[in-house]
Structure 1
Amino acid sequence: MPNKGNFILNLYPSTKFMLPLFVTISIFLVPSYLFAYMMLPLCIAIALIAGVAKQFLNLIVKGLLLLVLFIFIIQSVIAPGEEIIWSWGIISIKEEGVMLSLTLTSRIVAIASAFLLFFRITSIRDISQALEKVGMSPKFSYAILATFQFIPEISKRSKVIMDAQKARGVETEGSLLTRTKAFVPVLGPLVLSSIANTEERAITLETRAFSTKGKKTSLHKLHKTKTDMSIQILVIIFIIFLAVGRVMIWN
């Protein structure tokens, strides 16, 4: 987890959520794909301040770049239009298709980068704690917390089991068929260890009186500061300003 002494990381979860909220609303209010694409540099700048730029860019490159390129190419080819920019056989790229692709991919990049950054700078524990403070059931907030923690835990556990298999002489690297054969023996221990982990969690929760009625307490405390309130108000004002601009100028 990044250094909690950082200004960005110390903000309240609802304040951090104003970023994806602002990005999602603003890119539909401002009819410009350049504005939507500018949300990515904004997110990178925030990631640099928060000290998570390396992890954030890694997520963008591995999880978003190929998807956006694929959508851009496909949309440019299949979209109808009259102004042909380039053609090869039955394949043709039209100006209308390119403009539509730019609009679509810019919004995908903006929204995806904002939400990726939000979950990069906000721990799931903080999110569940904030949800409980606004009245959500502790059981439901724990279900959210456990769901987000499940995939990383499964990934780590599978890596440990694969390393153990490799230490026993099982070939785990090579062709796709070899890796598939090596993965099959992992499924059994992985499923059994996941079931055991679930049982341990249930026992731990019961020892902490999780299912009892009454007000719950937590060692993990969250506090909303004046800075959080100021940022939220400024973002709301800016969204209203963009909405007025949409009606008066861009409409």
Structure 2
Amino acid sequence: MRLNPLTSLALAGATAVITTAAASWPLSLAVAAAALALAVRGGIARRLLPAAAAVLVPLCLSLLIMHGLFFPEGWTVLVQWGPARITVEGLAFALERAAQIAAAVLALLVFSFSVHVPDLVAALSARGVQGRFAFVLASTLTLLPAVTSRVHRIRQAQESRGLVIRPGLLHRATAFRLQAVPLVLSLIEEAGTRAAALEARGFSNTGPRTSYRAVPDSRLQRTLRAVLVLAATAAVAARLWLGRAGT
């Protein structure tokens, strides 16, 4: 059965919310493993992994620095440098939060890299979402895959002109600076082109709209989306209730 883009979005969003609310090591690792398996099966792993690393590495490092070195509830000290100290409890807390974030990010990235943007825009428009807003929302959800693909093309073009990226952090930082300028300029130019194209197609016009693209949707999928939204809401409510009960 082909999933409607809104069903895929509901699955990814509910998975991210429930995993974060559950705060469970096994669940977070299981979700992350399932997301990676889906990426490999869908043939998007080679594009998804660099994007996931760009998002997760800085976040996980910041968690380790903040909670690993300055965790107030930690009492089992491994190493100490003045006010900074590495504790077992701080490392466990940081790794638990990192696993939650990794699971949520991977679930959302699998959706972003696998969704078909025209189908998503058509599905949103069929649900009464204004055309321009639907396009902006779809573009935002798929921004990271688009940027990743654009960076890859820019790197290939620069390497064909003789750019050599040597090993080492300094050389990679220099290469990133050389790629960032054409990336930003191309994104700005594309934004203007897309705005003109949207205006020419009447995306800003009000009134009833028709679409030549029909996205399959069934009562089962609509019911599944409602169940996922309710499950995510219940997970957040349960988390808040347990937090209040614990205090």
Is TM (by shorter chain) over 0.5? Answer: yes
The 3-state SS of whatever aligns with 1:93 is strand
Of structures 1 and 2, the one scoring higher in RCO (CA 8 A, sep 6+) is 2
Matched with 2:71 is: 79
Counterpart in the other structure of 1:223: 216
The aligned runs of 1:11-22 (5 Å cut-off) are 11-22=3-14
State the match for 1:43 in structure 2.
35
Residue 183 of structure 1 is matched in structure 2 by 178
Cα deviation for residue 24 of structure 1 reads 3.4
Distance 1:23 1:126 in 2: 22
Q: How far did residue 223 of structure 1 move?
A: 2.1
Q: 140, 155, 158: which is aligned to 2:151?
A: 155
- After TM superposition, the score normalised by the length of structure 2 is 0.68
> What's the offset of the Cα at 1:11?
0.7
C-alpha displacement at 1:209, in angstroms? 4.3
Matched, 1:93 2:86: yes
Match of 2:96 in 1: 103
User: Structure 1: how far apart are the matches of 2:32 and 2:17?
Assistant: 15
Deviations 1:59-99 (A, max 9, x none): 44454246424523442111113522411543422233133
CA distance in 2, matches of 1:114, 1:76: 26
Q: Alpha-carbon deviation of 1:224?
A: 1.0
| 1:42 to partner: Cα distance | 2.7
Does the 8 Å contact 1:77/1:94 carry over to 2? yes
- Change beyond 3 A, Cα 1:235–1:51: farther
Task: State the Cα distance separating 1:243 from its structure 2 match.
Answer: 7.8
Structure 2 alignment gaps of length 5 or more: none
Please give the alpha-carbon distance, in whole angstroms, between the structure 1 residues aligned to 2:115 and 2:183: 32
Residues 19-56 of structure 1: CA deviation (Å, up to 9, x unaligned): 23322332355353332332212323443554544544
Contact kept, 8 Å, 1:84 with 1:92, in 2: the verdict is no
Gap runs ≥5 in structure 1? 1-6
Task: Write the distance in 1 (CA, Å) between the matches of 2:198 and 2:238.
Answer: 51
Q: In structure 1, what residue type is equivalent to 2:25?
A: Y
Cα 1:74–1:82 shift into 2, 3 Å: closer
| 8 Å contact from structure 2 (residues 51, 148) kept in 1 | no
Percent identity (aligned):
19
- Identify which of 121, 124, 130 aligns with 1:131: 124
Query: Against the structure 1 CA distance between its residues 235 and 216, is the aligned structure 2 distance closer, same or farther, given a 3 Å change threshold?
Result: closer
Is the contact made by 2:31 and 2:103 (CA closer than 8 Å) also made in structure 1? yes
Determine the C-alpha separation between the residues in 1 that align with 2:220 and 2:164.
51
| Cα displacement (A) at 1:119 | 1.0
CA contact (8 A) 1:157 1:190 kept: no
SS of the counterpart of 1:92? strand
CA spacing shift, 1:145–1:81, aligned 2, 3 Å: closer
Instruction: Return the index of the structure with the highest Cα Rg.
Output: 1
